[in-house]
């Protein structure tokens, strides 16, 4: 386990989670990207000690680093790439619709919570 890598995971996660709790979607996107990086570093750390690149014919197999987490990492990167693209498109759609990119409250929930004598449901689903 490499302490620097672990610190990097912790730092990225902390900043990412902080950004994710914001209301502005552009911050959420940044937060998600940072969290994505944190998971990538975490997966790489899970692979054990660093070694030569695991490419056939470039080093002896016992000197290579563990290839499986790297394969998982690649897949994770691909997925977070696609999701970031989608989030960006969503943020833009929100901006054209409402002029800002804030996550809004659920109007129906507000209405029911405001109604008298109604048992309140679970608390308002605000942005996580």
Which residues lie near other proteins (CB under 8 A)?
A: 20, 25, 28, 32, 35-36, 38-39, 42-43, 45-47, 53, 55-57, 68-69, 72, 74-76, 78-79, 81-83, 85-90, 92-94, 97-98, 103-104, 106-109, 112, 118-125, 127-128
Whole-number minimum distance, CB 128 to other proteins, in Å? Answer: 5
Give 45: exposed, middle or buried? Use CB within 10 Å, 0-12, 13-18, 19+: middle
CB nearer to other proteins: give 63 or 68: 68
Whole-number minimum distance, CB 21 to other proteins, in Å? Answer: 10
Whole-number minimum distance, CB 24 to other proteins, in Å? Answer: 11
């Amino acid at each position: 386990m490499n302490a620097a890598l672990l610190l990097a995971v912790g730092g990225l996660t902390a900043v990412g989670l902080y950004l994710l709790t914001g209301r502005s979607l552009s911050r959420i996107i940044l937060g998600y990207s940072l969290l994505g990086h944190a998971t990538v570093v975490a997966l790489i750390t899970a692979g054990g000690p660093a070694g030569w690149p695991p490419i056939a014919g470039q080093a002896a197999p016992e000197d290579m680093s563990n290839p499986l987490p790297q394969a998982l990492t690649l897949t994770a990167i691909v997925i977070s790439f696609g999701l970031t693209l989608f989030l960006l498109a969503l943020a833009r759609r929100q901006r054209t619709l409402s002029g800002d990119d804030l996550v809004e409250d659920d109007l129906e929930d507000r209405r029911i919570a405001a109604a008298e004598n109604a048992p309140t449901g679970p608390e308002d689903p605000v942005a996580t």
